[in-house]
Chain A
């Protein structure tokens, strides 16, 4: 076990807002709450085995990214047609919270969605985005670029 890992509570306070915003962006307000819990419960279980010099933020966002993927998969398994799901999602958000940019982000393919959320919400450099998604730095850069291009096209409609 390492000497210098911060107490879990400190790690939690330092990263909760960033994880929350990432999840809000990538799965929406309704599912963000479950994903948030699942992320930090998984992090708590694995925590003592971490090396003290790990990049804790990139590490926890890797977990959050996986939980967000699970949520997206579960949603598509429920086989609600996308437009309908969208409508449901929109209705369950508080009034005045419609957010076309992030709704468009949630419609992106998984890797692009994650790259965009990690870059702009979590402010991760390409290297850490690659770690979180589990791809090369070059591939992360490409996903981000493709995601932005697609968003511009969607939002220009």
Chain B
């Protein structure tokens, strides 16, 4: 069936130059979507000592921060389902967070100023995490104390669950909540990271070396 003309057509316009030819056009498009504020959710990857973190923000503020091992496809699908499918990659909109995170990890920033969007966080978790957000740099509270402040005395385990599902770790400092005796407890991003964050903030003394 196929003849020379069809073969030429199938090769597309000047075949040698078109493969990947949309890359420059795509960058311009993303730039325009960013500058005209057309997306409901924007995301980018940010450096950290843990590896690249994926940050996502709405017009209200930072809504999600994912650790390196979290599946990017799943994260975006979650945001599409829970917030809006109008999601694009737009590094510029997250410039302030990039700066603040870099300063935090260098030890020159003690508080984050970026706006937050709490819409992925349920009502009980919001109470727990609001209390958590007010724990100062270098300080810590126990699970029971956070639970009590959230109106659920005796709800330490429920508070732990709420902290474990914190969608904006590091910035909402759930690493500052410890067991009553000072033991680390749990951490959604792994205990090693919790320890490292607390050491960075001077809340834990690093283990003595040789």
Contact = CB atoms under 8 A, between A and B. Distances in A.
A98 B76 CA distance: 42
Interface string A1-26: 10101111110100011011100110
A119 B32 CA distance: 30
A93 B22 CA distance: 16
Interface stretch (A34-42, A70-78, A80-88, A127-135): A34-42
Contact of A8 (B8, B22, B86): B86
A24 B21 contact: yes
A123 to B, nearest CB: 8
Contact of B5 (A33, A93, A101): A101
Given A33-B28, A36-B25, A99-B14, A9 B5 contact: no
Contacts of B32: 37, 41
Given A33-B28, A37-B28, A148-B5, A8 B18 contact: no
Interface string A110-121: 000000100111
A91 interface: no
- Majority SS at the chain A contact face: helix
Contacts of B28: 33, 37
Given A20-B25, A33-B28, A37-B28, A6 B12 contact: no
A155 B77 contact: no
Contacts, number: 106
B18 A9 contact: no
A47 B18 CA distance: 27
A109 interface: no
B204 interface: no
A24 B12 CA distance: 8
A41 B35 CA distance: 12
A52 to B, nearest CB: 9
B76 A25 contact: no
B140 interface: no
Contacts of A140: none
Interface residues of A, number: 42
Interface in B30-46: 32-33, 38-41, 43
- Interface of chain B, helix or strand or loop or mixed? helix
Interface string A97-111: 101011001000000
Interface string A28-67: 0100110011001100110110000000000000000000
Interface string B76-91: 1101110011111100
Interface residues of B, number: 36
Which 4 pairs across A and B sit closest by C-beta, in order of nearness?
A: A20-B22, A120-B9, A7-B87, A7-B76
Interface of A: 1, 3, 5-10, 12, 16-17, 19-21, 24-25, 29, 32-33, 36-37, 40-41, 44-45, 47-48, 93-94, 97, 99, 101-102, 105, 116, 119-121, 148, 151-152, 155
Interface of B: 5-6, 8-10, 12-14, 17-18, 20-22, 25-26, 28-29, 32-33, 38-41, 43, 73, 76-77, 79-81, 84-89
Given A36-B25, A99-B13, 18 more contacts: A3-B81, A5-B80, A7-B85, A8-B86, A9-B89, A12-B26, A21-B13, A29-B13, A37-B29, A37-B32, A44-B38, A44-B88, A47-B85, A97-B14, A116-B9, A120-B10, A121-B12, A148-B6
